[in-house]
Amino acid sequence: MTSAPARACGIDFGTSNSTVGWLCPGQPTLQSLEDGKPTLPSAIFFNADEGSTHYGRDALHTYLEGYEGRLMRAMKSLLGSSLMDGGTEVAGRALAFRDLLAHFIGELKARAETAAGRPFEQAVFGRPVYFVDDNPAADRKAQDTLEAIARQVGFSEVSFQFEPLGAARHYEAALTREERVLIADIGGGTADFSLIRLSPERARHTDRRDDLLGNAGLHVGGTDFDRALSLACVMPLLGFRGRLRNGAEIPSALYFQLATWHTINTAYTRQSFADFQHLYREAASRRELDRLGRLIDRREGHWLALQVEQAKIDLSTAPAIALDLDRLEDGLQHPITAEDFTRATETLVDRVAATVRDLLQQAGIARQDVDTLYFTGGASGVPHLRTRIAAELPDARCVEGDLYGSIGAGLAVEAAGRYG
């Protein structure tokens, strides 16, 4: 903790939730962003009925109350994607996706400044190890885009740190001895890993390059688990993997749009509706497509995605749940078990485990030489994912950090070190 308030803040702009950290003696590191809470869900709702804009929990609650408008979530996933240079329609007007992100990050900045009682002009932003897998040019463009947006909303100095290294700084503050630590940061959009030497002595050093033993990451996170669960267990109720009268499988594009947070709104375009009408005419069975038609007509895609997301959360602690889908058909309930969830996400978990193995191999570190496995990020709470990662490091002590706050708090430490 510094003896005077830091000049800069640390910002964890997340796929699902965002936080802002600031070091000030005697004050909590994470700033209160909504209803006294340090997290602001990364969501915007443009309320067409009242001409208002809502953020975070308020955005989700207002949308679920039935107001007409446009809900946007998982906006961070746009960075590095081909969609980033495009836009969407809000209240009959075109809105560029860059300006959409600026709306949210500007609100994040304003709320942090209100909580801190001072302006922020310098910030360290967290970033995933890779915004885009296996494409350095696209990855660099994603960071450059985020930096430009940060400057657009009023930051004059912007720098970046890998999100798992932000979490490492937070964990290191509590250490009494040196450890080799694998930071597993699994958030809404990415799974990122940093293997690093941490200790009270090393914490005093500004240059930590020699302590970083390796980084790895891939574009798999909580929203990918949502999509996999939706496609495996829910979309078949709407006709996914059904058949046309000619025996061919129903095309899957519309289902993938509805199962992916940042593409749900594309399912409501005229072209998508025309595609649906063609499928309906040619389908061998129409009961499932009747449900799909109701969902599209009522624009209930985000509502369904929220039900699937809650099912994912509930299945992390319960052996089975019953999904209430009466908005699609009166009395429709669908059981999903924890085993269903495990099977649906098996491929994703395999990819994450392979990334951990590759990181150890590239770093030249034996699995038994890692002292601690430190989990952060909301999706790291998925039991079968956590168990699989821990199996790669059987001798490591497992530690759970603040799943939603470790990165923001660590970035605050980084910001104080860089900018004073």
Shared-domain flag, residues 173 and 255: no
Distance CA 150, CA 106 (A): 8
- The encoded tokens of residue 223 equal 């929203």
The residue range of the domain holding 232 is: 223-343
The pLDDT score that the predictor gives to residue 90 is 87
Consecutive sets of 10 residues in the chain, 420 residues long: mean pLDDT of each?
Answer: 83 96 96 97 95 96 91 92 88 91 98 98 95 90 97 98 91 93 95 95 82 93 97 98 96 96 91 93 95 95 96 96 95 97 98 97 96 95 96 96 93 93
| Calculated CA dihedral for residues 323, 326, 330, 333, nearest 10 degrees | 0
Distance CA 260, CA 129 (A): 22
Shared-domain flag, residues 243 and 322: yes
How far, CA to CA in Å, does 13 sit from each of 79, 146, 222? 12, 10, 15
The pLDDT score that the predictor gives to residue 395 is 95
- Of 324, 343, 362, which marks where a domain is finished? 343
The pLDDT score that the predictor gives to residue 1 is 44
Shared-domain flag, residues 145 and 66: yes
281 inside domain: yes
Return phi, psi of residue 121, to 5°.
Answer: -115, -20
The label of the residue with tokens 């915007």 reads 44
Shared-domain flag, residues 248 and 327: yes
Shared-domain flag, residues 164 and 239: no
319 inside domain: yes
What sections of 183-265 are H helices per DSSP? Answer: 222-229, 253-259
The pLDDT score that the predictor gives to residue 209 is 77
By the 8 A CB rule, do 9 and 415 touch?
yes
243 inside domain: yes
Number of domains in the chain: 2
pTM of the model: 0.88
Q: Which amino acid is at 30?
A: L
The pLDDT score that the predictor gives to residue 82 is 87
In the chain, the largest separation of any two C-alpha atoms, in whole Å, equals: 74
69 inside domain: yes
Shared-domain flag, residues 34 and 155: yes
Shared-domain flag, residues 150 and 41: yes
